[in-house]
Structure 1
Amino acid sequence: MRVNSNTKARTRAAAGLTVAALAAGATAGAGPATAQPKAAPAAAAAAADCSAAYRIEQKLSSGTTWRMCWRYDGKAGLVLEKISYQPKGEPKPIRVLNSARLGQIHVPYDDGSVEYDDLTGFDFAQGLMNLAPGECPGGTIKTVKVPDSWNEDPNVKGLCTTTRSRGHAYRMQGDTANKVFQAQGKDLLVYTVNQVGWYEYMTEWRFQDDGTITMNVGATGSLSWDDYDAGDGRGWPIGKGASAKATSHSHNAFWRLDFALDGSTKNRVEQYDSTVSAPTRGQRAPTTKTTRTKVTKETAGDSKAYRWWRMVSATGKNKDGHARSYEIVPGVTTKYPGRSYTKRDLYVTQYNKCELFASHNPGNCGPGAGKSVDKWVNGQTLTHPVVWMNIGFHHIARDEDQQPMPVHWQGFSIAPRDVTAMNPLTPAELGWQNGHWRPRR
């Protein structure tokens, strides 16, 4: 799906066709909606700290409430801010993030002919698409004023907030054969669709009732009709015979997360690595030992087996007295080695208000600062850490990619670790089983 110099004109025309198609009843998305997000009560204003028009608040049927503010940036698109999580049993909201948004979508082509930075170089934000009611089942579509819009009317019905079921949250056989504890999980889903050339990017944020946040980018739309000239090894034949090969390419998606656990940006970063050793004499099985490394300075890291990271609150503890934290859970990735900033999976940088995009950053961050996230990792002490996650996807087209192209997803999650003393969805009947419990007699 190569983008060429006529993309803007094509985007405007395609946008009109897409709106017409949506008005005719085209739908998108997977999974049933369970409830329409309710308007936030006036009392929540202090927790969300934004006006009603820019506030998202949803109490899920399991008792968990998510609160956040939103705004729309002229390059990054949707930005979510002041995100808090309040499971049942917690007296007040627990702040998780100052802000969360995309940090770049970098698209290099396998034949070396071209590469794009869709957020900073190809008007990602201006391509916000109108959504039809069928695309936001059971939810609310908010109107977004798009900065520097190409259209006469910059107001786009482009932000969906709804709820979805995700299947089992847990299942456990009780002490008696006829007792089963189980619950179906619920999510708050917030998403937009942005068109860039032939792509339509679905930027999706899932806020689960167990405190997990999952962020995904899904690419759909169309294979470019003028991009069938790839040579052997750099494309795949689409259509009859093998004469027309669609050029392969990568999507390297970056996210930027500014944590503020319990309302403080003075969070700590920790890395955990485990090593497995062969059994020694007298042991029945291999042994595994996990070690913690405190990350005190800016770093670039790679995902691998038996490695994980967490962001730890500097101020908050759960009811068991354990420091609250969020674990970073990388998704499936194909790391692109062609550029310095895509060679690592994770970057942690000291907060700088001008460091906003992982590549071709438009801000002037000072002499020698560089324009990409890898250049910002230069040994500063972390007092306000910002996490950048890089998830890659190598797209080798297939016949099934036409027409339209099925969504292919890439993303990752952050999961609560010791944010609450027990599973936030624990049924009341099992609330006493905390820690090293023993059956009641």
Structure 2
Amino acid sequence: MRVNRYSKVRTRAAVGLTVAALAAGVTAGAGPAAARPKAAPAAPAAECSADYRVEQKLSTGTTWRMCWRYDGKAGLVLENISYQPKGESAPIKVLNSARLGQIHVPYDDGNVEYDDLTGFDFAQGLMNLAPGECPGGTIKTVKVPDSWNEDPNVKGLCTTTRSRGHAYRMQGDTANKVYQAQGKDLLVYTVNQVGWYEYMTEWRFQDDGTITMNVGATGSLSWDDYDAGDGRGWPIGKGASAAKATSHSHNAFWRLDFALDGSTANKIEQYDSTVTAPATGQRAPSTKTTRTKVTKELAGDSKNYRWWRVVSATGKNKDGHPRSYEIVPGPTTKYPGRSYTKHDVYFTEYNKCELFASHNPGDCGAGAGASVDKWVNGQALKHPVVWTNIGFHHIARDEDQQPMPVHWQGFSIAPRDVTAMNPLTPAELGWQNGHWQPRG
């Protein structure tokens, strides 16, 4: 991935291998679905043509809507994302936009590091997908901006559905009935080649309202990098004296611009729980959870019993509770080598030029800095943007050849009080909301 990384991409373009880009589109969400004490303003419809719209009603009754476009550096961008479970009369808008914010790749020997989105033409490397790579789905054609190839059009965006196994299972009160459902997801993904690696950028929209964002790295180990010393790599090949593939990190950032219920005036809250040893007379330890309102920009660190949520300023569910989405980080190895990778999540005030977590190419004004950590400078959060950082330390193994199995990294946002009950609740259990008792 090092010296040959750039030349390989250039060579690939020169021989006419197509790369691609996306354009824009999906129907936007509306305001809150039958919110109680006050109604949110209706969100405007997404203005995108059918070519750039994704609208999928899953077999369990949930409909997801969004627009897509292709950015010349970030690749796939999803916009105006809304969620409409069964029982809700209108779409519930969740996000203005969602996209990658950077893939930062430093090598363990300290000789090189890469910023794949802004420095190594990630977007130019969009790959054509064969029908078998999008089972049961549709492959859309993407026009890559400023393409190196004669034909900038790439069959590079897959939209399909997939079963994820049990959504729930519950034995009925009389022990003679089982309530169960198999969950369904909408998947939207692309594959981008950067040097030896191929990155699978996957967005998974579940029928329960959860959105999961993943980057999967596959392709090949770079044969140029079989030059590591002890402690910097792993022997690949025959015998104890085999050359060592240099270890490296993949630090993936995502940028989420929330617009719950059609409003960008969302609130950020942090929750921390403290566990205390049993007091005299108590049978077990006790746990207390406290809420902290995050009113100014924050560089946050995950730890046990800590989590964050983004809260709607305008919409409430049918129980009268404010809608929100909880940030659910995936497994991560936090890279301490750069200031912008030292934290797990950043909440920054919206600025249209702050687009990439490192080596941001936009001119954001004097002294603004070119990385996300520099943008956390005490501004009040009136239109918060969420950045997440998920790291993976790749120490190669024999099984990584050839080709290399996909290794995934990512996170989810999960609905918290978006609906008054499980959006997949069977009709005959719909009365069991809140403090209920079995019927006689």
Residues 18 and 238 of structure 1, relative CA distance in 2, 3 Å threshold: farther
- For the 8 Å contact 2:114–2:120, the answer to whether it is kept is yes
For 1:124 and 1:274, how far apart are their aligned partners in 2? 40
Residues 12 and 27 of structure 1, relative CA distance in 2, 3 Å threshold: farther
- For the 8 Å contact 1:25–1:132, the answer to whether it is kept is no
Taking the TM superposition and a 5 Å limit, the aligned residue runs for 1:302-381 are: 302-381=301-380
- For the 8 Å contact 2:5–2:195, the answer to whether it is kept is no
Query: 223-232 or 373-382, which moves further after superposition?
Result: 223-232
Residues 239 and 29 of structure 1, relative CA distance in 2, 3 Å threshold: farther
Aligned partner of residue 126 in structure 1, secondary structure: helix
Residues 431 and 40 of structure 1, relative CA distance in 2, 3 Å threshold: closer
After TM superposition, give the deviation of residue 24 of structure 1 in Å: 30
After TM superposition, give the deviation of residue 30 of structure 1 in Å: 33
For 2:187 and 2:36, how far apart are their aligned partners in 1? 11
Aligned partner of residue 95 in structure 2, secondary structure: strand
User: What is the match of residue 27 of structure 1?
Assistant: 27
Residues 343 and 48 of structure 1, relative CA distance in 2, 3 Å threshold: same
After TM superposition, give the deviation of residue 241 of structure 1 in Å: 1.5
Residues 9 and 314 of structure 1, relative CA distance in 2, 3 Å threshold: closer
Q: How many residues end up aligned between the 2 structures?
A: 439
Residues 358 and 179 of structure 1, relative CA distance in 2, 3 Å threshold: same
After TM superposition, give the deviation of residue 2 of structure 1 in Å: 3.1
- For the 8 Å contact 2:166–2:180, the answer to whether it is kept is yes
Aligned partner (choices 192, 195, 207) of residue 194 of structure 1: 192
For 2:6 and 2:142, how far apart are their aligned partners in 1? 26
Aligned partner of residue 278 in structure 2, secondary structure: coil
After TM superposition, give the deviation of residue 209 of structure 1 in Å: 0.1
Residues 323 and 3 of structure 1, relative CA distance in 2, 3 Å threshold: farther
User: TM-score, normalised on structure 1?
Assistant: 0.93
Aligned partner of residue 381 in structure 2, secondary structure: coil
After TM superposition, give the deviation of residue 176 of structure 1 in Å: 1.6
For 2:281 and 2:24, how far apart are their aligned partners in 1? 71
Aligned partner of residue 19 in structure 2, secondary structure: helix
Residues 31 and 20 of structure 1, relative CA distance in 2, 3 Å threshold: farther
For 1:35 and 1:138, how far apart are their aligned partners in 2? 36
Aligned partner of residue 15 in structure 2, secondary structure: helix
- For the 8 Å contact 1:250–1:393, the answer to whether it is kept is yes
Q: What is the aligned-residue RMSD (CA, Å)?
A: 6.5
List per-residue Cα deviations over 1:26-80 (Å, max 9, x = no partner).
9999999999999999xx9974331111100000000000000000000000000
Residues 57 and 27 of structure 1, relative CA distance in 2, 3 Å threshold: closer
Residues 285 and 149 of structure 1, relative CA distance in 2, 3 Å threshold: same
User: TM-score, normalised on structure 2?
Assistant: 0.93
Residues 247 and 27 of structure 1, relative CA distance in 2, 3 Å threshold: farther
User: Can you give the 5+ residue segments of structure 2 that lack an aligned partner in the other structure?
Assistant: none
- For the 8 Å contact 2:104–2:115, the answer to whether it is kept is yes
After TM superposition, give the deviation of residue 149 of structure 1 in Å: 1.0
For 1:35 and 1:53, how far apart are their aligned partners in 2? 32
- For the 8 Å contact 2:31–2:315, the answer to whether it is kept is no
- For the 8 Å contact 1:10–1:197, the answer to whether it is kept is no
For 2:228 and 2:29, how far apart are their aligned partners in 1? 32
Residues 22 and 70 of structure 1, relative CA distance in 2, 3 Å threshold: closer
- For the 8 Å contact 1:270–1:311, the answer to whether it is kept is yes
- For the 8 Å contact 1:256–1:388, the answer to whether it is kept is yes
- For the 8 Å contact 1:144–1:156, the answer to whether it is kept is yes
List per-residue Cα deviations over 1:310-335 (Å, max 9, x = no partner).
00000000000000000000000000
List per-residue Cα deviations over 1:138-195 (Å, max 9, x = no partner).
0000000001111110000000000000000000000122200000000000000000
For 2:164 and 2:171, how far apart are their aligned partners in 1? 21
For 2:191 and 2:29, how far apart are their aligned partners in 1? 11
For 2:44 and 2:370, how far apart are their aligned partners in 1? 37
Residues 437 and 227 of structure 1, relative CA distance in 2, 3 Å threshold: same
After TM superposition, give the deviation of residue 25 of structure 1 in Å: 30
After TM superposition, give the deviation of residue 406 of structure 1 in Å: 0.1
For 1:347 and 1:264, how far apart are their aligned partners in 2? 20
After TM superposition, give the deviation of residue 8 of structure 1 in Å: 4.0
User: Can you give the 5+ residue segments of structure 1 that lack an aligned partner in the other structure?
Assistant: none
For 1:313 and 1:23, how far apart are their aligned partners in 2? 29
- For the 8 Å contact 1:37–1:57, the answer to whether it is kept is no
For 1:14 and 1:187, how far apart are their aligned partners in 2? 38
Aligned partner of residue 49 in structure 1, secondary structure: coil
List per-residue Cα deviations over 1:174-224 (Å, max 9, x = no partner).
012220000000000000000000000000000000000000000000011
- For the 8 Å contact 1:37–1:162, the answer to whether it is kept is no
For 2:7 and 2:26, how far apart are their aligned partners in 1? 24
- For the 8 Å contact 2:81–2:94, the answer to whether it is kept is yes
Aligned partner of residue 21 in structure 1, secondary structure: coil
